[in-house]
Structure 1
Amino acid sequence: MAEAAVSCTVPDGWLNERRTLLLAPSELEAILLVGAGQFACGRMEEAWEVQSFVWNYPEKRQWKKRMAVQIKPQAALLGMELALREEDSRKAFEFAREALELLRGNACHCYLLPLLEQMGRISGEGFSEGDWLYLRGADEFRDIFKRIYHMSGYPENRVWQGISVENTREAGITLKMLRKFAGKPLDKAVFDDDGIIVTRRQLEKIESGAHKPSYTNYQRLVHRYGKHGGWMIPMLETDSIEVLELRQEISSQIGFCQWDKVEAGMERLRQKVDIAYPRVRQELLFFEAIILLERKGELEKSLELLQKALHVTVPEWEGKDAKWWVFQREEIIIASNILDIYREMGKLAEAKEWCEAICFSMEQQKDRTNIMHTGYAILMEVLDNYLGELRLYEEAIDVSKKAVSNYLKQPRIGTLGRAYYRIAWNTYEAASGSAQQDKRLQKQWREAFQASEGIAAFVRDNYLMRHLKDKREKYLF
């Protein structure tokens, strides 16, 4: 069966031709399953050959680490099983350490717990003190993640292979939202300059999800509603691999507040892209606004740049209901930062308007697709801060718990530690001034704070770790 799975997309005879094949992570995972089957049948030499091929493939093809993490942990699990069967603890340990460091470096938890549990089978006898301590640290991570998964009702083991659909939109609800934003009734929305696009009855069925529009009709309707500025165009139309990597570096550096590196990366990025493209211009404006906000504390200037960045792809909505706009990932992130600046400025009425608009737009899509989009993580942090400002601690706790549940469904958990800290903070504040509440909630804030510490240590979020160290006495003693 494993061999049949491989043959779905990989030519027959792949075992002999595998050195010349260009394979995706999912195809390598299917090949790895062949090796697992061989191991189960006692065909150790063949299993080692397959495992070694998959394990070494990313380096031979010069994959970036963010790609290698999609297959190396699984290959490590088979390699460890084979090595432990042959009582080669050192080899098992080397597989485990490389895979674990790859997961930590990419803030990823795919197949993490099985890897950590497998490491628990390595005795460490004859190891150096440093390697022995590394195994004990892995035991601690195992216990932390078992507690985190248990608290959230998350399965300890799951199959991760699949495609990313986090920025997918459902055509019907998208068209309905854009039509309402444009303020067009059904009978006025079915025509454009070239004539009728669909009938009113057809549009009603499309919007309800009963029918799907053709690609051509979808594009005509989208344009009829004024959706332009890169809706169907990649973020950076002039992308090279170098540019993509640079963008990701800048985003990561912003997350860890490494401002000197951010500004240096921005200078390099400007030299490699064409700011004539809308989405390129939008991202550069966004980065500049974040630097002004986080490094220099210039709220007004940052707000002005963020609004300018948003309207690169979003039409002015004066006289329109902003909640019906279909926010793209980048637009959600920018709008969420606008919301947060209004909160920091004490303009809570404006913050409320932005909060309601973004949340409503996202919920419309989620109700139809049950998919949370990438911008969700940014929005949840901002929404939590907004609710905290209003002292709505119970609502804030609920928001952050839902966010944790959604973060755990994703491969990367870089924002998870901060979500747990928000739960700890809000729970602590909710308990303040009430001895009865204090007893009821103390266990919750302690568990959330410890989870935040564990995630921060796992992903090496130094900024969060320093913050938690300063707050430890408040929450745990």
Structure 2
Amino acid sequence: MAVYVVGDFLRETRLRKGYTQEEVSYGICTPASLSRIENGAQKPGRLILEKLFERLGTENNLFNSFVSREDMELYSAIQELIRNITDDDVAKIEAQIEVVERLAVNSSELEHQCLYFAKGELARQKEKDNEKAMEMYMKAIHITLPDFDGKNPLRNNLLTFDEIMIINSIAILYGNSENVITAIQLDMWLKEYMENKIVDGKMKTTKYPMIMYNLSCWLEDKGCYREELRMAEQGIDFCVKYGNLALFPKLVLNKGGALVKMGDNENARKYLHQAITIFDAMGKLEIVQQVTAWCKDNCEFEI
């Protein structure tokens, strides 16, 4: 059985995928630093190592980097902040920002990316200040993608999971401000990137259904019901395959809504009823009431 050190594994994976050192290291470290890491001449920090693996489309489940207690404490705090963001837990995001800020006083800009992103989420979700949220998102993304203008996809760039999360949040801002075309353009970029560049992993399982749900909603806003249906069905299939059911009922609901708009009332009723049943089992009674009322007002049938 072959035995790898981290540099060997990074280099072999990069070469197998056909990426240059410049593509993988862009915004994370210099190509020269990556070369030294691959050759075993430089020990990477835990966060840098993780981001390099993410650019290669995988997660760092195989290697650990020996770091100081302070570095490990900051890394753990950042991971907790990412979990809070993923869970949309505003109270925990606010509290964890203070923890990370205290630990990141003397750290590099890379460690601040998640901090700026979290402040953007707080501005969008709690303060309802979209202008401030966009400012924080752009400050975060420019740490590793300085050429991104906030609107046009950089299809030649490799992405980390944090970059995918930030770009998705930027798309949500555009969707909320009725700039739906830009929102669709950004999330279609992320959808295609995750399908083509990222192997199966925890972050893909978490984020891909959200992107499919966003796209199905925005395509409905533009009256593209057949495309809405396609996105919802792809999202449903992914949720079933990978056991991520958090967004499953919402995707089923969007599938039913698309079928209503396309005049397929028989199948629409079936999927809307399924969505309501799941929401009811989850105790989401407010959503059940909203969907029931929508069906009564917009459909030729009642649920």
User: Paired residue for 1:157?
Assistant: none
When Rg is computed on C-alpha atoms for both structures, the one with the higher figure is 1
Confirm or deny that 1:473 pairs with 2:302.
no
Contact 1:275 1:281 in 2 (8 A): no
Matched, 1:291 2:122: yes
- The corresponding residue for 1:270 is 101
Check whether the contact 2:216–2:232 (CA below 8 A) recurs between aligned residues.
yes
SS at match of 2:143: coil
TM-score by length of 2: 0.66
- Aligned twin of 2:272: 445
List aligned pairs for 1:145-160, cutoff 5 A. Answer: none
Is 1:424 paired with 2:253?
yes
User: Does the residue aligned with 1:421 lie in a helix, a strand or coil?
Assistant: helix
Aligned residue number for residue 52 of structure 2:
232
Describe how 1:65-464 pairs up with structure 2 within 5 A.
Answer: 171-173=15-17, 175=19, 215-216=38-39, 231-232=51-52, 238-240=70-72, 244=76, 247-248=79-80, 250-251=81-82, 253-254=84-85, 257-274=88-105, 276-317=107-148, 322-365=154-197, 369=199, 373=204, 374-410=206-242, 413=244, 416-432=245-261, 434=263, 437-454=264-281, 456=282
Which has the bigger relative contact order, CA under 8 A and spacing at least 6?
Answer: 1
Runs of 4+ in 1 over 6 A off after TM superposition: none
Cα shift readout 1:186-225 (whole Å, capped 9, x = no counterpart): xxxxxx99xxx9xxxxxxxxxxxxxxxx9449x9xxxxxx
Sort the Cα spacing of 1:364 and 1:417 in 2 relative to 1 into closer, same or farther, 3 A. closer
Could you tell me how far apart the structure 2 residues matched to 1:246 and 1:172 are?
31
- The 1:240/1:404 distance shift into structure 2, 3 A limit, reads farther
- In structure 1, distance between residues paired with 2:106 and 2:220: 38
Gaps of 5+ in 1: 1-168, 183-191, 198-213, 220-227, 458-464
CA distance in structure 1 between the partners assigned to 2:251 and 2:104 by the alignment: 37
Contact 2:257 2:272 in 1 (8 A): yes
Measured in 2, the distance between the counterparts of 1:431 and 1:425 equals 10
Q: What is the RMSD of the two structures over their aligned residues, measured on CA atoms? A: 4.1
1:176/1:243 Cα in 2 relative to 1: closer, same or farther (>3 Å)?
Answer: closer
Q: What whole-Å deviation, never above 9, does each CA across 1:124-147 have from its counterpart, x for those lacking one? A: xxxxxxxxxxxxxxxxxxxxxxxx
State the one-letter code of the partner of 1:175: Y
Deviation of the 1:362 alpha carbon: 2.4
Question: Which residue type is aligned with residue 194 of structure 2?
Answer: M
SS of 2:247 mapped into structure 1:
helix
Note if contact 1:230-1:279 (Cα within 8 Å) is conserved in structure 2.
Answer: no
Shift of 1:229: 10
The alpha carbon displacement at 1:174 in A equals 5.9
Task: Provide closer, same or farther for how the CA distance between residues 256 and 315 of structure 1 changes in structure 2, counting only shifts above 3 A.
Answer: closer
Gaps of 5+ in 2: 1-12, 43-47, 54-59, 296-301
229 and 427 in structure 1: CA distance in 2 versus 1, 3 angstrom threshold: same
Using the TM superposition, give the Cα deviation of residue 274 of structure 1 relative to its aligned residue in structure 2, in angstroms. 4.4
* CA offset digits 1:329-350 (Å, max 9, x no partner): 1111111111121122222343
Q: For the structure 1 residues 308 and 174, does the alpha-carbon distance in structure 2 shift closer, same or farther, using more than 3 Å as the test?
A: farther
Task: After TM superposition, give the deviation of residue 325 of structure 1 in Å.
Answer: 1.4
Q: Is the 8 A contact 2:148 2:154 kept in 1?
A: yes
